[in-house]
Every structure is written in structure tokens, then in C-alpha cells.
Structure 1
């Protein structure tokens, strides 16, 4: 089964095109995501949304927004100008979740369910010690896998 979740930042605003046969809308945008290591470069991927999702992307998504995307990942073979072929990843969107408002957004009067990152950092730092937060006091931080090399059978 091919199901992926990506935490991304929108790098290129969604653009809409339509299929020739039944005029189904297709939204296309480019997003960036962090590498697995601190020194790894940021990755980029093309995201496609079809039908009503395409309209929703165009109406609600702006450059700089942080999103969590759900969908399918596939590899496309794209011909280059020199005649060789290149493989590129493409993400077909099934759902998206807004994590933060656009950083450059000037709508200061708009309310959002998304917490301000500065407020979140203050809450996290102030409740970082187990004595301040009963959930952290009960947190089991033991490893999920024992530190032995033995196979248990």
C-alpha cells in the first residue's frame, strides 16, 4: 500500500489546469521539506490535487504555509533535452492539513486554530520539567526495542 505523510512548506503557489476530456481541475504546486539529517539539503517535490481538492488548494494555500500532506508517492520518467531520461518523484494529494498560517500573511485580524509558534515554544519550555506537567512525569522513555543483539526465538 502506498500512503505517505509529509510535513512541508509551500514553495510555489498552486496553479490549476484542466483535463481535455472532462475538464477535471488539477492543481499543481511545489513544496519543500527538511532532510533527515541536520546537514542534509532541503528536498522539493511536485504535488498534484485533483477535482474539488484542486479548487480547495487554489483558494486556501499560499506560499510559506506549513502543511501536512497525505497521499500517494510515485516516480515519473521525464525526458531531458539531451535525450536522456530522468526520474522525478510526484505526490498525489488525498488530504492536507494546515499547520500554520502564511508567515508573510498580513491578515492580523484573522483568527486561527493554529497556535503562534512563539506561544508554543513558551509553553513547551515552561512545562518541560516533569514536576510542572503530570503527563511528562508519567511518560515512559524506555526504548521500544531492547539493547541486546539476540533474536528472541
Structure 2
């Protein structure tokens, strides 16, 4: 199954057009995401949404929005006027989430409003791997309290002395 999830930023405004045969709405936009290495430039990708999702994308998203995209990736072959074939990646989106928690999907029965949906619990911010990890802090011995049930008394045997 070809399913991908990408975190990206919209760099070209969504453009809405319609198919010739049945007038299905199609939205396309360009998104940018970080490359695998710091010295590499950001990568761009064409994103396409269909049907009700296309109109939601065109109305609710704009340049600069940080989004999480769920969908499938495919390679298109384009005949160039110079006589060679070029392959380009295209992402067909099935769900789109705004980084602030909005959500749109093509499988919903009613049009969704991006601001009304709660933030998904599995969303990781784009700069998650950029922040240094803080060192774990152990509690000081003074702050640890031992319940009275576990306090040692003279009539209980010392279990640390039992050989295993």
C-alpha cells in the first residue's frame, strides 16, 4: 500500500481548477520540506487534492501554512519539448492537517472547518529533532518520601540478605 505522511510548508498558493469531463474540482499547490541533511536545500513537491478536499484546500490554506499531509506518492512522466522524458514526483493528498490542529479530509461526509477540529494526538512539530535533548534530572534524596508501610522496622527480616 502506498501511503505517506509528510510535514511541510506551503510555498505556492493552492490553485483550483476543474476536470473537463465531469467538472471535478482539483487543487494543486507546491510544498517545501526539510532535506535529510542540514547542508542540502529544502525539497519541493507538487501536491494535488481532488473533489471536496480540493475546495477545502483552496479556501482554507495559504502560502506559509505549515501542514501535515497524508496520501500517496506517484511518479509522473512528462514529455519535454526538447525530446526527452522527465519524471516528477506528485503527492495525491487524502487528508491534510494544519499544524495548529485544523483538519480536512476527502472521506468526510460533511465539509470540515479547519479551525473546529481538535489537534490529533500523534502530530509531532516540524522542529522536533532540532531541539537539544535535556539531560534527565534525578530527584534529590531529600525529595523522596517513603511511605510508613515500607519503613524498616526491627521485627521485619532484611530481605537484601537473602541469596538468590
| TM-score class, shorter | 0.5 to 0.7
In the alignment of these two chains, the number of paired residues is: 117
Distance in 2 of aligned mates of 1:16 and 1:65: 17
How much does 1:22 deviate? 1.1
The runs of at least 4 consecutive aligned structure 1 residues that moved more than 6 Å come to none
Aligned to 1:19: 19
RMSD: 3.0
Instruction: Tell me if 1:131 matches 2:133.
Output: no
3-state DSSP of counterpart to 1:23: coil
How much does 1:32 deviate? 0.6
CA offset digits 1:16-53 (Å, max 9, x no partner): 11011111100000001110011111111100000010
3-state DSSP of counterpart to 2:59: helix
Aligned to 2:82: 82
3-state DSSP of counterpart to 1:27: strand
Alignment of 1:73-152 (within 5 A): 73-100=73-100, 128-131=134-137
3-state DSSP of counterpart to 1:81: coil
TM-score computed with the length of structure 2 as normaliser: 0.63
Distance in 2 of aligned mates of 1:45 and 1:79: 19
Distance in 1 of aligned mates of 2:53 and 2:136: 42
Alignment of 1:53-92 (within 5 A): 53-92=53-92
Structure 2 unpaired stretches of 5+: 102-114, 120-124, 139-164
Instruction: Tell me if 1:6 matches 2:9.
Output: no
Contact 1:65 1:100 in 2 (8 A): no
TM-score computed with the length of structure 1 as normaliser: 0.67
Larger Rg belongs to: 2
Distance in 2 of aligned mates of 1:100 and 1:13: 18
Contact 1:14 1:29 in 2 (8 A): yes
Q: Which has the higher helix share?
A: 1
